[in-house]
Amino acid sequence: LRDNRIELVRASWHELSISVSDVSLSDEGQYTCSLFTMPVKTSKAFLTVLGVPEKPQITGFTSPVMEGERMQLTCKTSGSKPAADIRWFKNDKEVKDVKYLKEEDANRKTFTVSSTLDFLADRSDDGAVVSCRVDHESLNSTPQIAMQVLEIHYTPLVKIISSNSWPEEGQSIILTCESKGKPVPEPVLWTKDGGELPDPERMVVNGRVLSISFLNKTDNGTYRCEAKNPIGRNSTEYVLIVH
């Protein structure tokens, strides 16, 4: 062996030891030690060199994604030998239904492996952390991980909360319009029976809150709260009955 990466460690009548530094894939193969007796005696050993996978990369994500759109995230790593294992997680929970592809690298010794996560974007995925984990025997039980935080835009979800479950004449009531969406919905719109609020002196809107003082029977009706953002709009109704 003639290579300046190979160093003679010990040479005696009983032992001949070498060390190989900066090991490469080309060092794989059969090594032979010979004892020049009559006849010559030899011993052979096969050295297997592992290919360490490169740090994985996640591609295919564009921000933001609209709710209902199909997302395809691909995780890829090259240089593994044998082929590395790729697993997907969403908020630390493993996602099982994924595609796996193994291709031989140009050197015909190592592999490029990729995996594709395919799903429909949902509002519950907004802010979720998707991670791609590469496991390989060369990594000594410390996997390589790539991460991507999802940003999903979705239409508002609207709900009306009443401060008084049994409103009576002369009392007041506060209706709060809770709207959740991304981007955050613009100021909400309050209407009564399909038109504007009929008594602005008693019916006061402050942000998302509608306050009605000194209730009377003319306040009976259907109050609608509508919220919108660039993705779309949504509304909900509350039927007020003054006792």
Domain ranges of the chain: 4-45, 55-149, 153-238
- The CATH H-level superfamily of 55-149 is Immunoglobulins (2.60.40.10)
> Residue 97: what pLDDT?
87
Residue 242's contacts (CB-CB under 8 Å, 6 or more residues apart) are 167, 168, 169, 215, 216, 217, 219, 220
> Residue 125: what pLDDT?
94
Q: Does domain 153-238 have CATH number 3.40.1350.10?
A: no
CA atoms within 13 A on the CB side of 35: 12
Contact (Cβ atoms closer than 8 angstroms) between residue 156 and residue 180 = yes
> Residue 130: what pLDDT?
97
Q: What residue ranges of the chain have pLDDT lower than 70?
A: none
> Residue 178: what pLDDT?
95
CA atoms within 13 A on the CB side of 193: 7
Q: Which residues of 39-77 are buried (b: 16+ CB within 10 A; e: fewer)?
A: eeeeeeeeeebbbbbbebebeeeeebbebeeebebbbbb
18 by Cβ neighbours in 10 Å (0-12 / 13-18 / 19+) ranks as middle
Residue pLDDT, tens place only, 63-76: 889 999 999 999 99
Asked if 55-149 and 153-238 have one fold, the answer is: yes
> Residue 36: what pLDDT?
87
From residue 238, give the alpha-carbon distance in Å to each of 128, 162, 165, 200.
33, 9, 12, 18
From residue 191, give the alpha-carbon distance in Å to each of 80, 93, 182, 216, 228.
63, 44, 23, 18, 15
> Residue 140: what pLDDT?
87
Distance CA 151, CA 128 (A): 8
